[in-house]
A and B are shown apart, each in its own frame.
Chain A
């Protein structure tokens, strides 16, 4: 293996000291001269028609500068997905109807938050309350209230970028009431597959809506310069170029007149990639008033009106041979995307995208349907579909293994894909560390010794087969068990802006500045990308400075979603640094009067390999370049596409096209302890083996995995958005139970270094996948411990206890 000096090390983050001292500036920290504060009036009804809005009293309140409603901006429409098949269905402020509790109705800009809030109370809205639907089951019923009755016309934002496929009315394809999207994919012969099976089972699994819980609330600051017609934005976001694209269209500004500027992002986890009404309103009001405007959502608004993970129902039927080989799998997914489509069309595609890269299933049928309801809007959340689909598939795999008397680890190993496999859509697994990951994770929880080996008996109850080895004094109250699950994630994909580019500028002291449009939101991209540049240039991490997260100063970037940061942006940075190094070596070759091929470089010195004494420091070569090459100070550039081998994004509806050039994989095993008296489950140990190709920064990779494990454990055991007729009941950290420090299990995390040939230094995805395996791992471990199966997340004490008593 290659010897590296900068990448692969657990170097401290370059943004660490700034964040440790409180100097790091987040969007919520910004205060501009003359800045106004915005607030949003929201719907109290899950579904209602707006009859009238009277904002005259609010406008007269001293300190109020403007009040806007849907009427002012009725032509504006945008969404995370905007294609001819799935035209954008969101508006910054409701025009005709409100579709969930929290839907935006009016916005106020005032001299202070308090005045803005007071103004909201003075806006009179007359509603006609409409019947509502709160579950996909209700919503798809004939005669259910129609949540979006209008036919949306017009070009979609994505058409500029080749989204317009064939002409035609796509809506006919989904002839289901309130369906917002459908993905249908199959291969092999499903009927024949089930005929070959020795054993078939059919199960239904449900996952809860969950919250991202990024600590920094969503916020936006907009500052419009009316003289130059230029808009500056500071957004707590994961993708500055995607936001610029959508907002410039919505605001009808030339894209180059919209600048998203840098501020740190206090966590995102998928919840800050959609364009939100408060962002549009901040920009619109700043343009209207010629003053900076800031919106900062409160915690209840963040929980309710930004995005949540899709609650999903999975019906899954799988046929296996006696030896555990999967021969057929039929999956049907229903996702509740809430009042607007959000990422509904994507999540039902991704439930397939994160299902099929794992097990070889020769005969497969998948149908995913996203449905409008009058619940809050759902969007991407870490893993986006993976936790839901992996919970279903691997919970059922565990059940199948029990049915036929196999060890689930053995059954997984029998069915998983391997390096060299070509997926049905054409994606190639150039590397695949699933087998090593499964072995590592299962050994990490002492699988053979830890497993209690329950065998389900012909549909009857489960018998506790062996004496409990729990730690309770009575020996039986606390029971332990182990479980395992596997997961996968893309490493970037073809999604706007489809590529990342980077620049590297060398300085005459031999150091460099890296320009990248990626955005630091905690994942450590500034550090890992600087490491990539430093390694490629042959300089130290301390020799790199970074200009990032600014659409004016940096070239385009895919953004920090779809887990493309390491592979796509990493490659762009590596190419930019290599380009700069090439130019540097050319100058050195000229000075040293040798051919470039004869040169080596180390410690900021370029030397002749045959005669190392003949050398020149980087700084001098750069100076010489300025003298000799018409002042060229050496600027390297590089770019890399989301998927180099295609120029189209995949069809969400048909699952055709190439998805990603490298899949990240992980296996996760846990040991749990179940209190049979209370039903409470505790994760004692969690072992994750993540095939991230190559860890560009070991400490950061471990941190990503540990964060995923914690979030996955929370979603397995306690996290749940509680809704009653569309009203959110637990919109606070106290009532939304995310893990706190004392919940932390003993964690073992390791990487499988599969060295992805498409990735920079072999790196691929690490930041998302490892949420997904935790759900089924915990459910399977609970089954192992106490012999009951919980089919829905979160696995609460109530559910465990009622299953134990049932």
Chain B
């Protein structure tokens, strides 16, 4: 039996009929067409599906859609405003923190959460904040540089 839930995604309210076993990731990608959130492993191990639920990062492949009824979800599609990139997005582009781009959406949301809760993190804190997000391309060096640059308010 499908259930009707209300999801506020990037500030927009959606009424969605979901099956009890559908994950938030599936609903975002398949019902709402928000394919910026990626499915890398579907086991909660890679972080590619990271989104923020009420401001906190979750692996959306492990969250049942029914359990976020009425909650607010932030995905990568909501990070830039009015066509302007978020400072983290700008830094990722400028510092070469993006290669294949598959981990990027999740990585950016993990970084956003970090900087909102710890505006001046140490390098070690940055690494710990993205430890749940696997990147096979970059070796993490430029991702850490990009996040660090935003934290230090570098002119982008």
Residues of A whose CB lies within 8 Å of any CB of B are 10, 12-13, 15-26, 28-29, 31, 212-217, 264-269, 298-299, 521-524, 699-700, 702-703, 706-711, 732-734, 738-742, 744, 747
Contact = CB atoms under 8 A, between A and B. Distances in A.
Contacts of A25: 35
Given A21-B77, A702-B96, A747-B139, A299 B85 contact: no
Nearest to B134: A733
B48 interface: yes
Contact of B40 (A13, A31, A217, A523): A217
20 contacts: A20-B92, A20-B98, A22-B79, A24-B101, A25-B35, A213-B136, A215-B48, A216-B40, A521-B100, A524-B99, A699-B95, A703-B138, A732-B41, A733-B41, A733-B43, A738-B136, A739-B139, A740-B140, A741-B130, A742-B127
A26 B80 CA distance: 20
B45 interface: yes
A355 to B, nearest CB: 26
A23 B36 contact: yes
Given A213-B134, A522-B137, A22 B35 contact: yes
B121 to A, nearest CB: 12
Interface string B33-72: 0111111111101101000000000000000000000000
Nearest to A708: B139
Contact of B39 (A10, A28, A732): A28
Given A16-B92, A20-B85, A523 B39 contact: no
Given A20-B89, A25-B35, A13 B100 contact: no
A95 to B, nearest CB: 31
Nearest to B108: A20
A744 B139 contact: yes
A692 to B, nearest CB: 16
B128 interface: yes
Q: Is the interface of A mostly helix, strand, loop or mixed?
A: loop
A28 B105 CA distance: 15
B115 interface: no
Q: Is the interface of B mostly helix, strand, loop or mixed?
A: loop
Chain B contact patch, size range? 35 or more
Nearest to B141: A706
Nearest to A701: B96
B136 A19 contact: no
A13 B95 CA distance: 10
A26 B102 contact: yes
A10 B96 contact: yes
B118 interface: no
Contacts of B117: none
Given A299-B41, A733-B45, A710 B140 contact: yes
B113 to A, nearest CB: 15
A699 B97 CA distance: 9
B111 to A, nearest CB: 11
Given A264-B100, A266-B40, A708-B139, 20 more contacts: A13-B98, A15-B98, A16-B93, A20-B89, A20-B101, A21-B85, A23-B36, A26-B38, A215-B40, A215-B102, A215-B134, A266-B38, A267-B137, A299-B41, A523-B99, A699-B96, A703-B99, A711-B139, A741-B131, A744-B144
Contacts of A700: 96
Contacts of B130: 741
Contact of A216 (B34, B38, B131): B38
Contacts of A31: 30
B23 interface: no
B103 interface: yes
Interface in B1-51: 29-30, 34-43, 45-46, 48
A19 B141 contact: no
A15 B93 CA distance: 9
A165 to B, nearest CB: 38
Contacts of B103: 215
A642 B116 CA distance: 50
Given A21-B80, A215-B48, A267-B136, A706 B100 contact: no
A241 to B, nearest CB: 20
A711 B93 contact: no
A16 B90 CA distance: 9
B155 to A, nearest CB: 15
Given A13-B96, A707-B137, A216 B42 contact: no
Given A733-B45, A744-B127, A21 B100 contact: no
Nearest to B41: A299
A303 B20 CA distance: 29
Most buried by A among B40, B89, B94: B40
A530 B29 CA distance: 32
Contact of A522 (B39, B89, B100): B100
Contact of A741 (B39, B42, B46, B143): B143
A703 B41 contact: no
A637 B92 CA distance: 34
Contacts of B136: 212-215, 267, 269, 707, 710-711, 738
A709 B108 CA distance: 23
Given A215-B103, A734-B43, A734-B45, A741 B38 contact: no
Given A20-B85, A299-B43, A703 B137 contact: yes
B151 interface: no
A93 B119 CA distance: 54
B76 interface: yes
Contacts of A522: 99-101, 137
B96 A22 contact: no
A476 B140 CA distance: 31
Contact of B100 (A29, A214, A217): A214
A176 B45 CA distance: 42
A733 B133 CA distance: 11
A21 B79 CA distance: 7
Contacts of B134: 213, 215, 733, 738, 740
B128 to A, nearest CB: 6
Nearest to B104: A19
B19 to A, nearest CB: 9
B47 to A, nearest CB: 9
A19 B93 CA distance: 9
Contacts of A28: 38-39
Contacts of B48: 215
Nearest to B143: A741
A265 B100 contact: yes
A708 to B, nearest CB: 8
B120 interface: no
Contacts of B132: 740
B75 interface: yes
B22 to A, nearest CB: 10
